[in-house]
Structure 1
Amino acid sequence: MLPEVQDTILTVATPAGRSFHAVIRVSGSEAIPSIHEIFVPSANIKLENLQTFVSIKGCICLPAESLKIPAVLYVMRQPHSYTKEDIVEIHTLGGRPIGEMILQYILQKKEGLKDGLRLSRPGEFTKRAFLHGRIDLAQAEAIKNLIRSQSDSELDLAILQLSGNASLRIKDIQNKITSLCTYIEMSIDFSDQDIELISRMEMINKMEDIRNDIVNLMNKPLTDKISSEEIRTVLYGKPNVGKSSLINALLGEKRAIVSDRPGTTRDMVTGVLEIGSVCFKLTDIAGFDEAREPVFLQAREKAQGALKSAHLLLLVFAGNEKMDIQSLEINHSEVANNVIVVVNKCDLMPESSSFELPEEVKKYTVVYVSALTGEGLERLKTLMFDKVLAGQIERSNTLHFFNVYQKDAMQRSYERIEQAIASFRDTMSDEFIAMDLRMAVDILGEVVGEITTEDILDKIFQEFCIGK
């Protein structure tokens, strides 16, 4: 056990600023003795005899300031507390000044205690929960994300991480690798007896399954629920295909200037469209033409930035124009399930249609609409909502299930499995294959904290706020 973990730590757990409530949190073997002189119970109760998960009314007495403040003491005995140590919390009135006065008084009395007593460092309560086995490292990261969450989607993601589902999947992969490694090592032991414990085909299949498991985990969907975060949706097409009219029709209000003159929209126009439980942030970007004026080129640059960050792309064509003048400057290899082709002005399409979609966009869902008459708009909204419902919207550019350190560890583990597969196919010695598999297991252990260093722990927990 690290020497610093033997200390009893305390802090004001409520954030800085004005507050009607202050919480002083203490964790460690000296938690109860440290507050013995400052907290006076309303009833004749010995604090040392309290069981876990009890609350006691009383008051905080500060003789030097002649203060007597109403308070409630909450006691959580080890090993049932968050840190698996004795924890006491003083809940009292007031904001930061009163809390700091209480801290100062408790710290002045530490000479009479058996073990050390000091102020906590950022994230030290959660760090102790990890070191004592209450949570693993992935869950510790989730707690940090939970504290920092600023939207419903970030909150849902943090709760999903905290559930430990990802940790269980990582440990399942570790068990599969370990089991396979056992077969290989046994084969080494019986190599002189011509005994095949597992066929070569089964061996390669198992390694490939493990590799796929790691890939699937790295690409794990952010959440199983529809998020309330806005889906960035870009309307994209040549000038004068009716993007401005379409965004006005979808929003039911005039947000963009509409004109027959091509290229009227030179700046991005945005609005929020709510469909079911999902909000779509619609962006009508400037049409891409061959203009070379600086103001047009600047608008074009902004539009390209919006395209790169889009969750959903609406490719807009005009149904009353020939396709040879509607070619789009877009790399179709970079878009997949997040595209809907919208053929606007369907009310103006000729009966003997000379309209033919380009081959590269026929693979996408196509909807015919008229911003003027409203035809097809409800169908378009349904398609947009269904893409989110089906989990087809790629949103990894805003939220990540794993952070950069966790993904790096999984990537390194994946590379070890790849090396083991290559060695096996090249009929290299089983010792090399077993070594790569063992290293893959150890690297995955970094994600859940089975193998870690003090530097990694410091990096993670120093980003917490005080009192957590």
Structure 2
Amino acid sequence: MFPETQDTIVAASTPSGRSLCAIIKISGPEAIQCIKDIFIPTPQINFEHIPTYTSLCGHIRFPAEHVTIPVVLYIMKQPYSYTKEDVVEIHTPGSPVIVEMLLCFILSNGIHTKKSIRLSQPGEFTKRAFLHGRIDLAQAEGVLHIIRAQTDRELNRAVAQLGGDVSKKIKHIQNDIVSLCSYIEAAIDFSDQDIELISTAEIRNRIEILEKNMLQFLTQPETMKVTSEGIDTVLYGNPNVGKSSLINALLGRKRSIVCEIPGTTRDVITSTLEIEGICFKLIDTAGIDNTEDVIMSGAMEMAQASLKRAQIVVLVFDGSIDISKQVKEMELEDLTGNVIVIINKCDLQKNKQITEIPGMLKKYPLVHTSALTGEGLERLKELLTESVLGGRINLSGDSACFTVRQREAIQRSLQSIHRAMESAENNESHEFIALSLHEAIDTLGEIAGEVTTEDILDKVFSEFCIGK
């Protein structure tokens, strides 16, 4: 039994603000008793013998305010609830005032009746689900990813993680290490009887397979590495070429200020665009300007910094004027990575007079666009998605399948595997190999929570909101 689960906890489970319905959740040994003291059912019912998964209609009266509100209770008795404790959900009209009154009333009544009830900590409901064995730690992180998901693709991956996909992958590799370790330890036990249960060559071979399998975790296909923050996509070009107008047209709404006066954008403006479940972080930068103005100078520094971090660079040119001249004013010498060339304002008649683009740009995908008429926007979206689905983007720092914490544990486990291989190659005692393999097993155990500490739990659940 964990000391922190002795209390009964309560919190609002739905976001703050007005809504049709709000949910207050109570979990713990005194959850049912706490609600029994203040709930008036319609009709009367015996709480002692109520079956799990029961819904009850009734109301709660606030004596001090002389107010009565209608509520619906959903009762889930342990161990048949999310936390494996007695859980009561109060469904009430979604007024922030009512939710606040209910929380205060439940807590104050608990104090008055000497019940151990308190407001929950961030993520405490999910933490209890983990502590009681309902889910493992990787699945708990999947809950957080579901809450934060911005696209269908992210939601599907988060649901898969909650379903145990990550845990199954880790468990499979763990079992392979345990199997190898058992042979090595048996060989140690029988070492004085000249029985070779496993040869050094076979140990090296199996460790090599383990290394390859674990490296696959850290080098997944690029299509699996689209993060919730989105793909950094920088629009870069001279002032007044239509970068802001393009972003507004792609988003279908006004996000950036558009004006005929050059240099309207003086900061880095970020917007999120979803295409086919992939999230792109569109970055509208200040147009290239060599002025000594302090503000514009700072804006240009930020634009250059965004360009260096960009995973996709969209070069935007004004198709109504000389493109070669625009290229000369842009610093494109160090341009690398995934580039798309946009000839904008193709709706202008003068654009037809200029068809040739500089040779240095011909190696990149090219599309003519008009933010005014919408021409070329669908092709631009296709090029953006092709950049991701074609695996041309370097996202080595992120992974959608594994969190930063999980990847770090895999890397530490891989280091232990490397040490085991070094010991085998140097013909060191089997005890050293087994020791390194045990370290790898324990480190992988941190991912699902088989091996954990308070620091790890605090780090994971502190990112949750209260009520989850």
Give TM-score, length-normalised by structure 1: 0.74
**C-alpha distance in 2 between matches for 1:182 and 1:432:** 14
Counterpart of 2:211 in structure 1 is 211
**C-alpha distance in 2 between matches for 1:172 and 1:311:** 34
Q: 2:39–2:58: 8 Å Cα contact kept in structure 1?
A: yes
1:74 to 1:276, Cα distance in 2 relative to 1, 3 A: closer
Counterpart of 1:308 in structure 2 is 308
Counterpart of 2:90 in structure 1 is 90
**C-alpha distance in 2 between matches for 1:457 and 1:272:** 31
What is the RMSD computed on CA atoms of the aligned residues? 4.7
- Equivalent residue runs for 1:245-256 within 5 Å: none
Q: Give deviations 1:116-136, integer Å, cap 9, x for gaps.
A: 444433322211111110111
**C-alpha distance in 1 between matches for 2:389 and 2:89:** 44
1:110 to 1:149, Cα distance in 2 relative to 1, 3 A: farther
What are structure 2's unaligned runs of at least 5 residues? 251-256, 345-352
Counterpart of 1:102 in structure 2 is 106
Counterpart of 2:441 in structure 1 is 441
Is 1:329 the counterpart of 2:329? The answer is: no
Residue 462 of structure 1: how far off its partner (Å): 3.6
One-letter code aligned to 1:105: N
Residue 371 of structure 1: how far off its partner (Å): 7.6
**C-alpha distance in 2 between matches for 1:22 and 1:269:** 35
**C-alpha distance in 1 between matches for 2:279 and 2:2:** 49
**How many aligned residue pairs are there?**
440
Counterpart of 2:4 in structure 1 is 4
Give TM-score, length-normalised by structure 2: 0.74
Is 1:125 the counterpart of 2:125? The answer is: yes
Counterpart of 1:388 in structure 2 is 388
Q: Give deviations 1:22-81, integer Å, cap 9, x for gaps.
A: 433222232222322322221242122121211011222444554443221111121110
**C-alpha distance in 2 between matches for 1:189 and 1:98:** 65
Partner SS, residue 36 of structure 2: coil
What are structure 1's unaligned runs of at least 5 residues? 350-354
- Equivalent residue runs for 1:61-460 within 5 Å: 61-63=61-63, 65-93=65-93, 94-110=98-114, 116-149=116-149, 155-220=155-220, 231-234=231-234, 244=241, 281=282, 298=298, 300-313=300-313, 328-330=332-334, 335=337, 338-339=338-339, 347-348=355-356, 366-367=364-365, 382-395=382-395, 401-460=401-460
Partner SS, residue 185 of structure 1: helix
Q: Give deviations 1:276-322, integer Å, cap 9, x for gaps.
A: 6767637577569xx7957686565333212233121357999989x
The more displaced of 126-135 and 148-157 is: 148-157
**C-alpha distance in 1 between matches for 2:11 and 2:130:** 19
One-letter code aligned to 1:129: A
1:392 to 1:134, Cα distance in 2 relative to 1, 3 A: farther
**C-alpha distance in 2 between matches for 1:464 and 1:70:** 30
Residue 450 of structure 1: how far off its partner (Å): 0.7
Identical residues among aligned pairs (%):
48
**C-alpha distance in 2 between matches for 1:377 and 1:18:** 37
1:123 to 1:223, Cα distance in 2 relative to 1, 3 A: farther
**C-alpha distance in 2 between matches for 1:7 and 1:250:** 51
Counterpart of 1:25 in structure 2 is 25
Q: Give deviations 1:123-154, integer Å, cap 9, x for gaps.
A: 22211111110111122223234334566666
Q: 2:225–2:400: 8 Å Cα contact kept in structure 1?
A: no
Residue 14 of structure 1: how far off its partner (Å): 4.2
Partner SS, residue 35 of structure 1: helix
Residue 380 of structure 1: how far off its partner (Å): 6.8
Q: 1:22–1:96: 8 Å Cα contact kept in structure 2?
A: no
1:381 to 1:5, Cα distance in 2 relative to 1, 3 A: closer
Residue 377 of structure 1: how far off its partner (Å): 9.4
**C-alpha distance in 1 between matches for 2:423 and 2:74:** 59
Q: 1:222–1:401: 8 Å Cα contact kept in structure 2?
A: no
1:56 to 1:314, Cα distance in 2 relative to 1, 3 A: closer
Q: Give deviations 1:64-118, integer Å, cap 9, x for gaps.
A: 554443221111121110011111122234331233223322442236xxxx444
